[in-house]
Structure formats: structure tokens, C-alpha cells
Amino acid sequence: AEEKEDLNIVIAGHVDHGKSTIIGRLLADTDSLPEGKLEQVKETCRKNSKPFEYAFLLDALKDEQSQGITIDSARCFFETDKREYIILDAPGHIEFLKNMVTGAARAEAALLVIDADEGIQENSKRHGYMLSMLGIDQIVVLVNKMDLVDYDQDVYNEIVEDYTKFLHEIDIEPETFVPVSGMEGDNIASLSDNTPWYEDETVLEVLDSFDAEELPMDKPFRMPVQDVYKFTKGGDNRRIVAGTITSGQVSVGDEVVFYPSGKKSTVKSIEGFNKPTTVSASVGESTGFTLEEQIYITRGEVATIDDEPQPEATSRIRANIFWLGRNEMTKNKEYHLKLGTTKVRARIEEIKRVIDASDLSQNEAKNEIERHDVAECILKLDKAIAFDLANEIAETSRFVIVDEYEIAGGGIVQEALEDKQSWV
Ligand code: GDP
């Protein structure tokens, strides 16, 4: 059988608005659960005389990672006739951002859950904001718990109207809103009689209508260097430059350039891990290659191809930062910035403007960035790094800010600036 295409999605929304319930529903209603799992969880609930909840399915699956089919540490899978979906789990704020900016950088679409009864919360807006900052523009907004508002169309319409207005302010064109009940299963896999006024697509149909293309295959080749391994082959001392390809592809014979050093060589061989040697490797693959010349490369550089568009390399950038740290982000304090596999020291040189993500109020005179603020600022780094701009190659434009060992914010590079001053 032909392999189905994948689509990576994230599910966002205020706590308790029903994310886990909806994930449980999606898994159950697409028959993506391991055999007998649903019955087993229902039986456990019966024994403990507590009502069954779809959210328990997730807990049960997480309890048995050994299963290895439906869930691994941070991901769930479900399938429609069209494709396989991978839900990148994002339990909390920090995790959400961390996943989005680092591991889950490849999310192609998002489900944003809003509780119909509680209405739009600050987090509903913050998450919308983050999605927009991260360049995820395929969004389906699920107005959940419709059962709690007696499937009232007016309640639904008001949320749709208000949230659409908000999304427009941040330049997102919402794809679709769907009135659902995760608990009752309305409009998730099939249209519900409880909402006769809604005759549009189900959640699964909306998801199937999204584009999966996003895999940045046609973009320029980028591979942040993870490590350089030395080995000997036939008496030769050789080095393998290893990493995960974040966009494009590379082939034997390509002339590669590393940034920020600018060193060049030609790809001699491509070595997969536990895979036979190939002539090319592409986006998403963890790979390694050897070079014709012995050039000295270190972790943190970005491998590119000479005749393709090149990345930026500088130690001063303009960026949008989304701050989640307990302490505010201030000038005069030193942070670490991690982008790809590089980690450098960073300081705020200038805060251009700060936006409160909940009400979008702007403040130009602030001297610090508070938790949950989005700020446009100039960052000064202790040395040059290689990156791309958000509107060119999103994958290599995202970074996280580390404040004393903890990820406290994430951001996207908007502009490469000239740097005339040295660090300190
Ligand atoms: P999360 O924190 O966003 O993952 O939310 P959960 O999925 O854990 O749901 C929070 C609570 O809301 C649980 O008690 C669910 O049973 C309840 N809940 C979720 N979806 C619905 C729904 O569609 N209708 C009703 N009545 N309750 C729901």
C-alpha cells in the first residue's frame, strides 16, 4: 500500500477548555486507538465509579508508552482515509512554546480550542498570537462544550465574530470555526443533529482540507551542525558533519558553505544512521556527510549549498520575542539565545515596542518585557550566528531565550542588522 502523507498539528487553548478531551475523541472516532483500549478505560472508570472521560484515554496511553503505536513521549497519531495526523502535545505554556520553537517547529496546522461556556480567555488570544508569530496560518478554531450552552447558535456566532476580529488584527485569516462538543462528539467525525444550524465541515474534514505541503523541501538547503565525528576509513582520517536537515536537500558533489565561518568544501559521501549510504538526503532527515577537504567545522554552524540563497550571519538582530519567563526580560541582563544548534550570549540593546498579547495594547516606552508580552527588540549577541528571516525560511529563523537554565521565551528573527560594536 502507498504510504499516506503526514500532517503535524498542534492543539492549543486555555487550560480546561477541552484539549485532551478532543484529542481522545479524535483518536477514538478515527479508530486509531489500540484494540480494546476504549473498553478498558471505560471499565476502569466503572470499577472506580467515576464517569468516563475521553481525556482519560490520553492518560491511559501515556501510562503505557511500551505500546509504541499510538503515542510516544510527546506525540499522538490518528488517521483519516486521506492522511496520518501527528498531534504534537503541548500541555502547558512553556512546553507549548518550547515545542513550537524547537522540536515541533514543523507544525503545519493548529486546532485552537475555545470553551463556549467560558468564552474567549487571554490564553485563547496568546496562543493565537504565538501561532501567528510562528507562521502557522492553517488554523481551525473549535468552539467546544457546545452542550453546555444548549447548542445555542448565538453563543457560537458571538465567539466566532469576536475571535475573527482578533485574528484579523494579528493578520491571521481563520480557516474555519466549528461548533463542537468533545464530550458528546458533535461535529468532530460527523455532523451532529444537535447543531442543525451548522452544515459546514466536520473537524476531520477541515483538517483533511489543509495543505500538508509545508515540508520545506523546495527551500534552500539548511542543516544546523549538531556534531562532527572523527573516524578512520581505509587508513584515512575522516570527519562526518552530522545534523538534521531543516530545509531543502543535499547531494554528493554539492558544494557546501558553512555559516557563519564561510568555509567551503564539496560533499564526498552521505552517511545515514543505521541506513545504507545514499547520494542525497532531504528535509527532516538526521544525516551526516563527509567532505572532500579537511576543513574545521564545529557544532552551531549552518551548512548550506553554495549556489542557493544564503543565510544571514551577524551578531545583531531585530526580532519578535514572546516572553514567558517568571522574571521580566530586561536590558543589562545577559541571556542565552539558542537557534538551531548554536547557543550564544544575548542582551537586549533596544526595546522598540511591547504588545500585551491579551488585548493587543501597545507600549513603546517600556524598559522590560513582562511575562506574556510580545516585544519587538534589537538583540546584541556575543558572536555572529547564522540564521534566516522569518518570511524566508521559518525553520532557521526561530530561537529560544534561556534565562538561567530555563527556556523563558521564544522568538523569530525579523531582520539582520549591521554590527559595529564588539561585545561588552
Ligand atoms: P484541557 O485542559 O484543555 O486538556 O481540558 P480537558 O480535555 O482535560 O477538559 C477539561 C474538563 O472539561 C474536563 O472535565 C472535561 O470533561 C470537560 N470537557 C471537555 N470537553 C467538554 C465538552 O465538550 N462538554 C462538556 N460538558 N465538558 C467538556
What are the two backbone dihedrals, phi and then psi, of residue 316, each rounded to the nearest 5 degrees?
A: -140, 125
pLDDT computed for residue 67 by the predictor: 47
CA of 54 to the centre of ligand 1 (A): 9
Task: Give the binding-site residues of ligand 1, using a 6 Å CB cut-off.
Answer: 13, 15-21, 53, 55, 144-145, 147-148, 181-183
Is residue 386 within 8 Å of residue 337, measured between CB atoms? Answer: no
For residue 214, how far is its CA from the centre of ligand 1 (angstroms)?
A: 31
Q: Which ligand 1 atom is at minimum distance from the Cα of 148?
A: 26
> From ligand 1's centre to the CA of 45, what distance in Å?
16
pLDDT along the chain (424 residues), means of 10: 78 89 94 89 92 87 57 69 82 58 65 95 82 79 98 98 89 84 97 97 95 74 95 81 94 97 96 77 90 93 97 95 90 94 96 78 82 89 94 86 90 90 77
- Ligand 1 pocket, mutate which of 19, 127, 183 (most atoms under 8 A from CB): 183
Identify the pLDDT of residue 364: 76
pLDDT at 373: 82
Q: Are the beta carbons of 382 and 315 closer than 8 angstroms?
A: yes
Q: Is 422 left (phi over 0), alpha (psi -120 to 50) or beta?
A: beta
What is the number of the ligand 1 atom nearest to the C-alpha of 55?
A: 7
Distance 145 CA to ligand 1 centre (A): 7
Nearest atom (ligand 1) to Cα of 146: 23
Report which of 393, 404, 406, 273 is spatially closest to residue 340, judged by C-alpha positions: 393
Q: What are the two backbone dihedrals, phi and then psi, of residue 109, each rounded to the nearest 5 degrees?
A: -155, 160
Cα distance between residue 124 and residue 119, in whole Å: 9
13 Cα nearest atom in ligand 1: 3
CA neighbor of 26 nearest in space, from 129, 126, 140: 140
Which residue has its alpha carbon closest to ligand 1 atom 25? 145
d(CA 133, CA 10): 14
Name the closest-CA residue to atom 22, ligand 1: 145
Residue nearest atom 14 in ligand 1 by C-alpha distance: 16
Nearest CA to ligand 1 atom 2: 16
Q: How far is the CA of 59 from the centre of ligand 1 (A)?
A: 14
Best mutation site among 16, 54, 144, 194 for ligand 1, i.e. most ligand atoms within 8 A of its Cβ?
A: 16
Which atom of ligand 1 is nearest to 113's Cα?
3
User: Is the distance from CB of 268 to CB of 217 less than 8 angstroms?
Assistant: no
